[in-house]
Amino acid sequence: MLSTAMRTNLSARICHRVDTVKDFLHLFPDGRDLEVSAADRELPAGVAVTAIGTMRTPVRMHSVYLPTEACWQINEALCQTGHQIRDPPGNADGPELDKAA
């Protein structure tokens, strides 16, 4: 069984700049009719076209690249404030909530 949050994200689509319209249409089949496109050579770095959850019409979004180390630092900060965390992917026992939290 998948959680509601997981099921909601299964339909998420995010596309950063691609080389051809064909590549963009692979992710957004109705992309020829959209006002935005990831095949636009003017699309700035860090900007993507996205459709997430119940959002029907794709829109542009701005994203930020975080190196792995920064993600671990954020995770550590959340742990220190008492938030529940999950083990990293690939754990042999599967994801479990931190018992100490």
| Residue 101 pLDDT | 44
| Residue 88 pLDDT | 66
Whether the predicted model's global pTM rises above the 0.75 cut: no
3-state secondary structure of 96: coil
Distances (CA, A) of 70 to 7, 73, 74, 76, 101: 27, 5, 6, 10, 21
pLDDT in tens, 28-78: 887 778 777 778 777 787 888 888 766 677 888 888 888 888 888 888 888
pLDDT in tens, 16-38: 888 888 888 888 887 778 777 77
**Cα angle 65, 68, 74; round to 5:** 90
**Cα angle 37, 43, 48; round to 5:** 65
